[in-house]
Amino acid sequence: MRAAPTILHLDMDAFFAAAEQASKPSLRGKPVIVGGLGPRGVVSTASYEARRFGVRSATPMAQARRLCPNAAYLVPRFQLYRTISEQVMELLGRLSPLVEPLSLDEAFVDLEAGGVAFGSAAAREAGERLRRDIRAVTGLSGSVGLAGSKMLAKIASEQAKPDGLVLIEPGTEQGLLAPMPVRILPGVGPATGEHLRRAGMTTVADLAEAGEDELVRLLGKSHGASLYRMAAGHDDRPVVAERDTKSVSVEDTFDVDLHDRVRIMTEVGRLADRCVQRLRASGHSGRTIVLKVRRYDFSTLTRSETLRGPTDDPGVVREAAGRLLDSVDTTGGVRLLGVGVSGLADYTQEDLFAQAAEERAAEGRASGERAEEEPEGEDSAAAAAEAEPVEDPAQRRWLAGHDVTHAEYGPGWVQGSGVGRVTVRFETPTSLVPGRVRTFRVDDPGLEPSEPLPLVETTEPLPLVEKTEIEIEAETGMGIGMRTDGTAERQARGGTPAGQESPLARRPKSRSEGGGPGSGAAMSRP
């Protein structure tokens, strides 16, 4: 525990939904729900407008649609979220070398280690400056908590939501925690909370009054002792810059139960490939392959196989996951599949996988023999071109909320698709009014998927003015302007030619200058 509130916790406000609202002017101020849109999907993030209807993270999507039928339901765009997260983490890194990311939108920062704060006033100033910088760089808001421990800093950021800052002065911890529910403490989940409720403990004050011995009797030595210390406001966990990754995994929930064994095997192979991609991206390999199967009756089976050494070979992971699947009965149907790798290391042992390498080499030799048997020339080249898979435009999937661009209308985003049509709203993050909506055939040749646009325009530095122009302005009091035909004309300094409106007066005002939503200017609606 520290004598000054120099541990900062940042939590971006409704991160996924806020990013979607910032990139889509037509959704600003409206309920937005991001998550899996299938009948078995769950909510990843709900905007604050949607939370008024009772929609929260992890709410089943079917229930969310009943609670808030008029919300915009969008598929996550993780590429955009990761880009924004990197910008935020870079800002945190400027405050201190000790930054502990918890997720894309949440992190602890040790301000004392960065030398930016050793007391309450400096810590508050650093937190406010961080919030301003985040809004300037990303266009989004974040809530900041400051305290002498990680637990209290996180509680403070929750109290600060949305878009606020709360500082907990050391010495006030017990009075603050006493009336709060036990679920506010780290390590108290639904099961532990229910266990404590049955014992008559619903608030943090109840835990403190029960004493350490009673909590140890109820929850065990380690958990009970830790919970008692936290109930008293004590938390000495340090901010750790590097957190060891324990496992890498991917999983999919299917809209309809899978019964076909071949299809199930195909999905397991696809998940294994995705898992290896994430494994390699993190710079790791692993020696324990894990298969997760959730059956039609919600029973979940987990099978694992430990190899003789770590690998990041997709063929080896696919084969191991396939062997694990052979030991699982899937006749009743499968609603979820997952493949993971644990026992991570930062190296691989290639010699352990000679068999997989030999199989790939054998496939290569076989394909080479077939190539030698085929005639060379234009006919063989045409045959090879015909053999290459070509994407059928009619089969393209247009996911709600994802970015597209049209050859005639420019950038936009998918509002919805079905029955061979896709509806697109053409607007960008910097549009001042909601964009127009148009509908196309799904195979429209002018419509293509595109990359997310930045939420905030990057301001380029003003070009240097030539010395001769400066001299002219200083000597004559006249500036140099440009006519529409590209020829130069002189303008009175600080003014415009007679009968013309200043370009600065014509340009849209920023929010800081009184423009944009809430400025009193009328906004057209689609």
**CA 241 vs CA 87, 96, 105, 236, 405: distances in Å:** 17, 10, 16, 16, 40
520: CB partners within 8 A, 6+ apart? 514
Residue position matching structure tokens 């108290």: 188
Structure tokens of 210? Answer: 């029960």
Vertex 279, ends 288 and 138: CA angle to 5°? 140
What type of residue sits at position 41? G
DSSP 3-state of 315:
helix
Encoded amino acid at 271, one letter: L
Tell me the backbone φ, ψ of residue 503, rounded to 5 degrees: -60, -35
Closest CA to 420 of 439, 405, 436: 439
Cα 131 off chain centre by: 19
Q: Which residues, in sequence order, are CB contacts of 342 under 8 Å at separation 6+?
A: 246, 247, 248, 286, 288, 290, 304
- Among 268, 277, 22, 321, smallest CA distance to 142 is for 22
Question: What is the arrangement of strands in the sheet containing 43-46, beginning at the earlier edge strand?
Answer: 43-46, 32-35, 72-74
Distances (CA, A) of 514 to 406, 509, 511, 518, 520: 33, 6, 5, 8, 8
Q: Could you list the active site residues?
A: 106
d(CA 250, CA 263): 17
Q: CB neighbours of 69 closer than 8 A, spacing ≥ 6?
A: none
What's the CA gap between 440 and 416, in Å, rounded?
A: 11
Determine whether 367 is exposed, middle or buried from the number of CB atoms within 10 Å of its CB (0-12, 13-18, 19+): exposed
* Nearest-angstrom CA–CA distance, 313 and 468: 65
